[in-house]
Amino acid sequence: MSTTGTTPWHPEIASAIIDELKTKPGALLPILHALQDRFGHIHSDAVALIARALQTTRAEVHGVISFYHHFRTEQPGRHVVEICRAEACQAQGARALEAHAKSALGIDYAQTSDDRTVTLEPVYCLGNCACGPSVRVGDDIHAFVTPESFDELIDDLKTEQLELK
Amino acid sequence: MSTRIYIPSDTTAKSLGADRLAMQMAVVAAERGVDIEIVRNGTRGLYWLEPLIEVDTAEGRIGFGPVKSKDLDTLFDAEFWQGKQEHPLALGLVEEIPYLKRQQRLTFSRAGVIDPLSLDDYRAHSGYQGLAKALEMSAQGIIDEVKASGLRGRGGAAFPTGIKWQTVLDAPAEQKYIVCNADEGDSGTFADRLVMECDPFMLIEGMTISGLGVGATQGYIYLRSEYPLAFETLNNAIATAYDNNLLGENILGSGRRFDLEVRMGAGAYICGEETSLLESLEGKRGLVRAKPPLPAIVGLFGKPTVVNNVLSLAAVPFILDQGAQAYAYCGMGRSRGTLPFQLAGNVKQGGLVELAFGPSLRELMFDFGGGTRNGRPLRAVQVGGPLGAYLPESQWDTALDYEAFAGEGAVLGHGGVVMFDDSVDMSEQARFSMEFCVAESCGKCTPCRIGSTRGVEVIDRIRAGENREANLELLSDLCETMVDGSLCAMGGMTPFPVQSAMKHFGEDFAQPAKTEMEVA
Ligand SMILES: Cc1cc2nc3c(=O)[nH]c(=O)nc-3n(C[C@H](O)[C@H](O)[C@H](O)COP(=O)(O)O)c2cc1C
Ligand code: SF4
Ligand code: FES
């Protein structure tokens, strides 16, 4: 089961990542992806490094980061749990699942549970639309998720963390 | 000799436990001393049967599904690996399953049949024969073939692909690009994903042919970040293609060049719109560009660029290999060839249904889909993604054809069909359409950006029973403003589902919405 990038922020690692990608045409998105995959989020100090490497302004880099739903500027919980909110999953009970998930975890979208296990995010379609409601955890996708199976999924994520400790 | 067993490996099969099943099957087989070879195929797209495992026999491939871990012991007891069909999950010859047999699989003929990453498999099933022919042809010859096939863009707008290519061929430039739109943002669609996860070489071949046709040497696949498995599969296939001189500077010794790279999107629906996509590829915010100039003339980095959907490009190898007429032979009117429909939502037999244009929506939903999954009456169907209209029963006999749908004020779009039972609240669906537009608007024009926010508020008031008549009128006006005053179809078509919900399901706007207490 994949987890979010957890390398602590390190400007030298970041600079190396940026240097490797900066000559690609249209390098900004590949750089942002690589940084987020590594560190779990785009650290505020990364913005100046990227702007310098790509000879653009920090405002421009900020603008791009905030335009795209995927990029985050704060470290998420160990697992990002994305619930599909789109129509095909709605037809299969996604609205009830969303409500359940929020109350079971005691958080809203874009928030992280107190124990930092889970950050909850909305997503608009995972391409698993014949078997909704669908939920993505890391790179794993789950089908026909019910409130009960959602709870089991969260329990698994929590116990996995206990086992690691 | 060991028996070959196929276990699917696409995202949906995995979401239903296919990986664990493959692992456990290997263990059980070893314990029982049964000699099997497990091959991970893509998927046939018969999702209600997944995980659908197939046993290779002299008569053909015998299917069993849907298989769960707990079925393994009884399957082995029944000697399923010998092709014996005593087990209750036995489905007979997979190719004879009516759902599959009644399709016209031109683009998806290999999906679920081959190992997606085996170039040998791909070649053994007509792969790279289209490219071989294209390498013998002139650029104009390639484009004439695509024109004659009648292929129209499968991304939504249904623009003739050959004409777009002609524009790029005719635009003089040192550098041109082929961009594959793999943003597949529409809810209810997964055909692009299936191409990429189950038959990636087909897309690579199609893009290479397109490059030869218009004179482009660089291609990009712009892939949504919600598709991590497709990303991995494409990158593996591209590496194999480079290793075998199928990409790079000297394709099959022809001296022709084509390079290809996958770029990941970042969770923005609007980046499926072609000019927003190009901005994103250039490393910018995905703000929609005004047209003209067309991307075919001023596209990526200002150069002439083909932007085509995955399915449009994936249809090209067949057209070059089998000839334009073989493709154009299928279909009706100006809708030539096949469209891979996707049955989703509350559907009993969901999955991929590739059909020649022409049958009715009803046939698709009932003869293939089998009605709703939970057995309740079907009430509303959204075709063509979040910007597509909701169709009531009176419109279900419409033929699956671009023009027939347009005549009903609806769209086929990318072929997604999302089914809802009678518990659906259409004012809530209309609200979602507006809410989605708020979340995904690029923000460039006011009717889209502000209009959608107002739309949510007005629908909330209607649902609360406040000044219903006046607010319904306001909502109608708002929809018209959005249709008339938006730069692209995001703002321009968001009203379609809203207006269709008001028109055909007016009763859902006529009484106060159910409170959560009542629903529960
Ligand atoms: C809001 C919006 C979203 C779109 N999303 C997609 C998409 O996800 N995939 C796609 O191929 N086309 C999408 N399109 C259509 C593209 O703009 C464009 O027409 C298409 O990529 C052209 O390729 P085709 O001719 O092969 O269909 C979208 C259009 C709009 C307005
Ligand atoms: S209609 Fe909406 S998404 Fe399209 S350009 Fe205008 S603001 Fe952007
Ligand atoms: S709508 Fe939820 S996976 Fe497509």
Same domain as B238, residue B188: yes
pLDDT band at B520 (very low <50, low <70, confident <90, very high): very low
- Same domain for B159 and B81, yes or no, is no
- The 3-state DSSP class for residue B259 equals strand
Residue B388 and residue B309 in one domain: no
- Which of chain A's residues have a Cβ under 8 Å away from the Cβ of B280? 29
pLDDT at B187 over 80: yes
DSSP secondary structure string for all residues of B376-401: PPEEEEEESSTTSPEE-GGGTT-BSS
**Residue boundaries of the structural domains of chain A:** 11-67, 79-164
The B259-264 sheet, strands edge to edge: B259-264, B218-223, B177-182, B305-309
Cα B310 to Cα A139, B47, B147, B388, B404, distances in angstroms = 22, 21, 18, 20, 24
Give the A:B interface size as CB pairs under 8 Å: 153
- Cα separation, B366 vs B378, in Å, equals 10
Shared domain for B396 and B504, answered yes or no, is no
Domain boundary among B328, B345, B372: B328
Mean pLDDT, range B245-268, rounded to an integer: 98
Using pLDDT thresholds of 50, 70 and 90, give the confidence band for residue B514: low
Residue B259 near residue B247 (C-beta atoms within 8 A) = yes
Inter-chain CB proximity B283 and A26 less than 8 Å: yes
User: In angstroms, rounded to a whole number, what is the distance separating the alpha carbons of residues B493 and B427?
Assistant: 17
Q: Tell me, what's the pLDDT at A161?
A: 66
Here the tokens at position B102 are: 């009644």
Which one of B309, B387, B402, B433 would you pick to mutate in the ligand 1 pocket, going by the greatest count of ligand atoms within 8 A of its CB? B309
Checking if the pLDDT of B384 tops 80, the result is yes
Question: What CATH number is given to the structural domain containing B494?
Answer: 1.20.1440.230
When divided into structural domains, chain B yields a total of: 4
B253 alpha-carbon distance from chain centroid = 34
Q: For chain B, what is the mean pLDDT?
A: 97
Q: Which residues contact B494 (CB under 8 A, 6 or more apart)?
A: B386, B387, B433, B434, B436, B437, B448, B452, B455, B482
pLDDT tens-digit map of B425-479:
999 999 999 999 999 999 999 999 999 999 999 999 999 999 999 999 999 999 9
Asked if B385 contacts B377 with a C-beta cutoff of 8 angstroms, the reply is no
- pLDDT on residue B516: 47
Instruction: Confirm if B180 and B310 have CB atoms less than 8 A apart.
Output: yes
The CATH number of the domain holding residue B59 is: 3.40.30.10
Q: Are residues B237 and B250 in the same domain?
A: yes
CA A24 – CA B264 distance, rounded (Å): 14
Predicted confidence (pLDDT) at residue B219 exceeds the cutoff of 60:
yes
Q: Mean pLDDT across the stretch B242-255?
A: 98
Same domain, B433 and B413: no
Q: For residue range A105-121, what is the model confidence (pLDDT) as tens digits?
A: 999 999 999 999 999 99
Closest chain B C-alpha to A83 CA, distance in angstroms: 12
Which structural domain range is residue B409 located in?
331-421
Residue B152 lies in a domain: yes
Q: What pLDDT does A6 receive? A: 86
Judge if the beta carbon of residue B442 lies within 6 A of ligand 2.
Answer: yes
Residues B136 and B275 in one domain: yes
What pLDDT shows up at residue A164? Answer: 58
Residue B105 placed within a domain: no
Question: What integer pLDDT is reported at residue B353 of this predicted model?
Answer: 98
Task: For residue B111, tell me if it sits in a domain.
Answer: no
**Residue range B148-157: average pLDDT?**
96
Q: If phi over 0 gives left and psi between -120 and 50 gives alpha, with beta otherwise, what is residue B147?
A: alpha
Interface test with A, best of B9, B11, B235, B444 (most A CBs within 10 A): B11
Question: Letter for the amino acid at A126?
Answer: L
Give yes or no: residues B322 and B243 share one domain. yes
CATH number of the structural domain spanning residue B269: 3.40.50.11540
ipTM: 0.96
Would residue B83 count as lying in a domain?
A: yes
N- to C-terminal Cα separation, chain A? 16
Domain covering A79-164 in this structure, CATH number: 3.40.30.10
Do residues B182 and B323 both lie within one domain?
yes
For residue B413, the 8-state DSSP code is T
Q: Tell me: do B190 and B44 sit in the same domain.
A: no
- CATH number for the domain including B342? 3.10.20.600
Both B405 and B445 in a single domain?
A: no
* Residue-level pLDDT at B512: 67
A3-14: b (≥16 Cβ within 10 Å) or e:
bbeeeebeeeeb
Domain final position from B397, B421, B445: B421
| Whether residue B518 has pLDDT greater than 90 | no
Q: How far apart are CA B78 and CA B87, in angstroms?
A: 6
B184 in reach of chain A (CB within 8 A): yes
Convert the pLDDT of each residue in B82-132 to its tens digit: 999 999 999 999 999 999 999 999 999 999 999 999 999 999 999 999 999
Among residues B421, B447, B477, which one ends one of the domains?
Answer: B421
Position A1 confidence tier, pLDDT thresholds 50, 70, 90: very low
For B318-349, the pLDDT digits (tens) are 999 999 999 999 999 999 999 999 999 999 99
pLDDT at B337: 96
B322 shares a domain with B176: yes
pTM for this one? 0.97
Whether A83 contacts A133, CB under 8 Å: yes
Residue B513 has pLDDT above 70, yes or no: no
Q: What is the pLDDT of residues B393-437, one digit of tens each?
A: 999 999 999 999 999 999 999 999 999 999 999 999 999 999 999
